[in-house]
Amino acid sequence: MTDVRPDPVPPGPVPPEPVRFAVVGLDHAHVNGQIAGLVGAGAVFVGRAGPPSPVHDAVAARWPDVPLVPDSQQLLDDPSVDLVVTAAVPPSGPRSPWPR
């Protein structure tokens, strides 16, 4: 029988700087796993934005040195932020763009 495994994928180039990421829309607790995964992979958590919530409080307690930015647009417009992560829950109600 012939071995049909694909050739291994060569490693990609190593980025010169770690990925810098921010978090907006801290509505759902799975954001903790997203953040932990990125930090564990070597990314740098540089900012968070959103209204007070139990999830936001948990993120602040786990990563207390990450600054809270008053407006998420500030993080979206920041050229030093490479990636913006969200765990936003879409709004519901009669005017929501999301199907029910």
| Mean pLDDT, 10 residues at a time, the chain of 100 residues | 60 77 90 93 94 90 95 94 89 60
Q: Which two tokens stand for residue 55?
A: 């999830």
pLDDT for the residue 19? 94
pLDDT for the residue 17? 87
- Please, what is the angle between helix 31-40 and helix 54-62, to 10°? 20
Distance, in Å, from the CA atom of 90 to the CA atom of 88, rounded to the nearest integer, reads 6
Is residue 86 within 8 Å of residue 56, measured between CB atoms? no
